Structure 1
């Protein structure tokens, strides 16, 4: 597991909540490292954890309180589609984005039916990914604020 927390200023940085927690699950170590670095830079001050072993991802999700989980579909020894219901059970409130280079409707439909918030086809460009993740995190924070009890003075 790797953890990155870097408050960086950049013209490409998006404004998200300072306490956003993101988990990226992918068995491709190079992609995993690249995604973690990119998310930290482009989303601003977020806490990004990575997991290259899908078999240990569920335990990480149970221990952490993630706002967003980005998970690859095709991994070994456990596929992301097999892992998805376990992730959803361990983190029912988290937004889960499944990503895959295989973009046929069957894979997309299966991911969404199994509890994914949305599906991201690979390859993706950084701007599209940043926009999607920013929207998902902002929707979560708006929903949280709406659900929080209001106090009156």
Structure 2
């Protein structure tokens, strides 16, 4: 899954990105509201982590513009303003959650999992397709009763497909979810990772089908 961190404190943004990448997310960073607005127009994000005190365009203005434009990307506000008025303003502007600085990364990850599930209308903490399941709390894949060992890129591919289970996922959408702006990836890179995941699903009743001209489909066979 791909996240956008909007934070003008370089050290905090870099620390957040490193921690979230270790948790198997793809992470982009925007240093101000204008940059974030441009990035949101060209890339799909599972969630947005948004500071309020930003240069050029503040966080609340960015959030209001996104919601007015019909963008429903889940947003967690991350800010030093922990006042009741600040929380109310953020939530009334369309935020899905609010976390005050300082914070624990484990709590942020838990809140991310919750808003992403809600964003996909997934009430259940577990998603299953045949022998394959994804634990919404740990983001661990289980295949035929055993943990499935995946690299971060492979995990990102399979996570995006299972979150869209039953629907065809265009190649461009899958590529956008797996690779960030700083990743060097050519047009065929996603095919390599899909192939690797297919190999790891062999022998199960789960398959990644290629629908020519349409994209990929995770299905029970």
The 3 A distance-change label for structure 1 pair 147 and 111 is farther
Larger Rg: 2
> Relative to 1, partners in 2 of residues 1:146 and 1:82: Cα closer, same or farther, differing over 3 Å?
same
Please list every run of 5 or more consecutive structure 2 residues that lacks an aligned counterpart in the other structure. Answer: 123-162, 169-218
Q: Distance in 2 between matches of 1:40 and 1:91?
A: 28
Equivalent in the alignment of 1:62: 41
Question: Gapped runs of 5+ residues in structure 1?
Answer: 1-19
Distance 1:68 1:133 in 2: 7
Highest RCO, 1 vs 2 (Cα 8 Å, sep ≥ 6): 1
Distance in structure 2 (CA, Å) of the matches to 1:148 and 1:112: 31
Question: TM-score, length-normalised on structure 2?
Answer: 0.53
Q: Within the alignment, does 1:28 sit opposite 2:9 as a pair?
A: yes
Q: Distance in 1 between matches of 2:17 and 2:82?
A: 23
Structure-2 change in CA distance of 1:101 and 1:142 (3 Å): same
Structure 1 segments, 4+ long, off by >4 Å, are 144-149
Tell me which residue corresponds to 2:57: 78
Mapped contact 1:27–1:54 kept (Cα < 8 A): no
- Which residue number in structure 1 is paired with residue 109 of structure 2? 130
Cα distance, 1:83 vs. partner? 1.3
Using the alignment, how far apart are the partners of 1:25 and 1:83 within structure 2?
A: 10
What is the TM-score with the length of structure 1 in the denominator? Answer: 0.74
What is residue 73 of structure 2 aligned with on the other side?
Answer: 94
Q: What RMSD over aligned residues (CA atoms) do the two structures have, in Å?
A: 2.5
> How many residues are treated as equivalent by the alignment?
130
